[in-house]
Amino acid sequence: MLAALPLIPLLAGLMALALPADGPRRWLLVVVGCLHLTLVGTTWVHPPAPAYGGLLELDPLGQLFLTLASLLFTAAAFYAVGYLRHEGAVHEKRDFQDGATFVNAPERVFSLCLCLFLAAMTVVCATRNLSVLWVGIEATTLSSAPLIYFHRHRRSLEATWKYLVICSVGIALALLGNILVSVAFYDPVAPAASMDLAELLPLAPGAAKPWLRAAFIFLLVGYGSKMGLAPMHNWLPDAHSQSPSLVSALLSGALLNCAFLGILRAVQILSPAGLGAFCGELLVLFGLISMVTAAVFIVGLGDYKRMLAYSSVEHMGILALGVGIGGGAAFGAMLHAVNHSLTKGALFLISGNILAVYHTRSCHDARGVSRALPITAALWTAGFLAICGSPPFGLFVSELAILRAMFAGGHGLAATVYVVALAVIFVGMATSVCRMVQGPLPPAVRHPGPERVLSVASPLALLAAALTLGLYVPKGLADVLARAAAAVSLGG
């Protein structure tokens, strides 16, 4: 079963490339998403055996993030049917910012890269081998870059290059981190056979600690660049704002988790080596810097897609902070990863509905959304409340769990910064969202008529799941969250 998971999107990508018509190609994405999600769901009932000689092996951390990636891909695939039909209706398009004309990338290339992107994320989540994980994360960069450049205009090209350059530097640093890990475990008498956690964890207490410390710094900065931790987050606002909305949803809700998983694998090694406190201090530092950075930029931001991008920086900071604090906060961080993926994926899809009607990303110009798109406006408002951690949504539960753990652990200063940053971000986002939802419809915007089911069904389902997790966490999910949190415990 595990062996088939990356093969399904890989083969589907080749089929998408060969299909002559766009209509069947769009529904092929839906079939791939549903099939992949079904197989991933089966792993929750029947744990799969390792595949490819142990290179792929699913543990609770990988299972959690793989499920999120598969779920978001499926939601984005349903959304893509209507989105690509709308985008394909007009061959030559005009950029709403500078008026220049452009042509979208061929749809078959877009579908191919979407499938390859899912295959790469599957490999990242389903491996415990540091080398394979590194290759998988590099593959996510190469497969997602053409998706960012779907709208072939100047700004998307600039965003794509920035994404490639910064993430390539980050992945190079992560490679140095992997090399330093191998140096730390070097033993001329009994060398480790591979970079698999099954090999490294029993040897961790005897590994060279100075090399491990250096390795963690390189891995944290390297994968942190891809994760969007400040101050290495510069690619994220441009890439998220210039990508098609369904791609932004996957980048924020699934790709950032993959990079976070790379950091968590390093934590798994350093903790039994007795360096848990060292990891925790660095994660708390980068987490707080990310939250403060997001708070500073979100206030007064006039671009609603960039606002969502900086919100991702904030939430990646919360994840790092939760793992760095440890204890109950680690469980809160795992739950937070689930809720953030569901909510942010929904918000980016909803932003695509607004952009399609208003042809602007300005919070000042996209007014009266409740009059033009009443269902979208309701979802946009609910998504804002959810992403800001308002009850009864799941993010409220996870943020409260992290805050309680901070006070219980005596991290009063960090808790204060955490609460202040959350409050500032709430006010900043509320100003923009309220301005967009209310007010009269701009004269230049024509009433679009009834909203398409495919444009609101996916975000509605994702937000409903986020709401459910605020009221009730199923026992099976709670068990996996607890085991994932225990795997990154800093107490070893």
Q: What is the per-residue pLDDT across 266-302, written as a single tens digit (0 to 9) for each?
A: 999 999 999 999 999 999 999 999 999 999 999 988 8
Task: For 118-127, give one letter per residue: b (16+ CB within 10 A) or e.
Answer: bbbbbbbbbb
- 33-47: average pLDDT: 96
Mean pLDDT of the residues in the chain: 94
Kindly tell me if the per-residue pLDDT of 491 is higher than 70. Answer: no
What's the average model confidence in pLDDT over 73-101? 83
State the Cα–Cα distance between residues 174 and 56, nearest whole angstrom.
Answer: 20
Rounded mean pLDDT, 181-193: 85
Buried b (16+ CB within 10 A) or exposed e, 359-381: ebbebeebbbbbebbebbbbbbb
Q: What is the mean pLDDT of residues 306-312?
A: 96
Grade residue 90 by pLDDT with cuts at 50, 70 and 90.
low
Mean local confidence (pLDDT), 61-71: 97
Instruction: Give mean pLDDT, residues 357-379.
Output: 93
According to the model, what pLDDT value does residue 248 have? 96
347 pLDDT more than 50: yes
Check pLDDT > 80 for residue 94. Answer: no
What is the number of structural domains in the chain?
A: 1
Burial of 39 (0-12, 13-18, 19+ CB in 10 A): middle
Average pLDDT over residues 319-337: 96
pLDDT at residue 407 greater than cutoff 50: yes
pLDDT score for 449: 78
Taking the C-alpha atoms of residue 235 and residue 129, their distance in angstroms, rounded to an integer, is 27
pLDDT tens readout for residues 110-152: 999 999 999 999 999 999 999 999 999 999 999 999 999 999 8
How buried is 45 (Cβ within 10 angstroms: 0-12 exposed, 13-18 middle, 19+ buried)? exposed
State pTM to two decimals: 0.95
CB 150 within 8 A of CB 93: no
Quickly state the pLDDT bin for 89 (edges 50, 70, 90). Answer: low
Tokens encoding 390 = 């308002």
Comparing CA positions, the residue from 461, 314, 476 lying closest to residue 395 is 314
Residue 18 has pLDDT above 80, yes or no: yes
Residues 431-446 have pLDDT tens digits of 999 999 998 888 888 7
Dist CA 290 CA 121 (whole Å)? 24
Q: At 492, is the pLDDT very low, low, confident or very high (cuts 50, 70, 90)?
A: very low
pLDDT at 25: 94
Per DSSP, 194 falls in state S
Where does 89-196 have alpha helices with state H?
A: 107-125, 130-148, 154-184
Residue 301 has what pLDDT? 86
Average pLDDT estimate for 26-55 = 95
Where is pLDDT greater, at 401 or 489?
401
| Domain carrying residue 39 | 3-488
Q: What is the spatial distance between Cα 330 and Cα 327, in angstroms, rounded to a whole number? A: 6
